[in-house]
Amino acid sequence: MNKVKIAKCDLDASEISLGCMRIADLTKPEIATLIQTALDEGINFFDHADIYGGGQSEAKFAEALNMTASVREKMILQSKCGIRQGSFDFSKGYILEAVDGILKRLQTDYLDVLLLHRPDALVEPEEVAEAFTILEDSGKVRYFGVSNQKPMQIELLSKFVKQPLIINQLQLSITNTGMIDAGINVNMKIDPSIDRDGSILDYCRLKEITIQPWSPFQYGFFEGAFLNNDKFPELNQKINEIASAWGVTNTAIAIAWLLRHPAHMQPIVGTTNPARVKDVCKASNVKLTREEWYAIYLAAGNKLP
């Protein structure tokens, strides 16, 4: 497993992360097998959120591993907070309370990374700054980031927060390429030229913020996987053709497509299938050519100007 260089920190992180959103429905032995498979394949970065499974994803993760200091030191743990039932909450009090809950459920003294989970329309960046400083000074959180935020939202936080924001989780897959489309179709009166994200892809590259693509196999907003889906015949034909040439599965090619981008992204893979974890990890050894990357992009229904 290759490593991804996450700027402004000392994390030696795998370039693929395992997302733990769906593990609450698994048994403890199933979770233990899933996590051990990931570790054996070189994944050391695990993504959580306090809302996943109502907190049970974090709790069952730690219980399944019999979390100890020796187990903890093998992994990088990231979690997110800020989503409440019917609202978002980036207040100082809630962030501090949420982190204490996360640490308790994960049975650890610290998080490697804490992300603010989606934007809060009522954010008061001064309060976020106070919370982050308390968490850093107490040793409860080492590094910080955001999810689904655009440049000006990050700039607003950065004006007050003294810690660098090192990660931004964004929805990105072969069939969800809005942030890429807008950068290709510049100065054109067509839908793909619409910049809905404030040039977030280029911004993150300029600011050395690592993008973590989530739902890398999904189309739409959790509408299903595009792989082996009759709705995407041309795309699957092209992916399967390239997968055969590389001697890997279509799953690996879908991740290799993201890894090929020079932004050095770190995809979050949410599978609960150990065999698929092994398939995904083969993407780390696949370096798609420029021609292969564009062929997949076009097969997804995109057009070049």
Which amino acids are annotated catalytic? 52
Residue 118, CB-side half-sphere exposure with 13 Å CA sphere: 13
Q: Hey, CA dihedral for 165, 171, 173, 176, is it positive or negative? A: negative
Mode of pairing for the β-strands spanning 210-214 and 111-116: unpaired
Cβ contact 264:210 at 8 Å: yes
Percent helix, percent strand, percent coil in the chain, to nearest 5: 45, 15, 40
Cβ contact 226:184 at 8 Å: no
Cβ contact 117:81 at 8 Å: yes
State the residue for tokens 């992180």.
13
Reading the block at residue 82, the tokens are 């800020």
Residue 182, CB-side half-sphere exposure with 13 Å CA sphere: 12
Cβ count near 165 (within 10 Å)? 22
Cβ contact 150:197 at 8 Å: yes
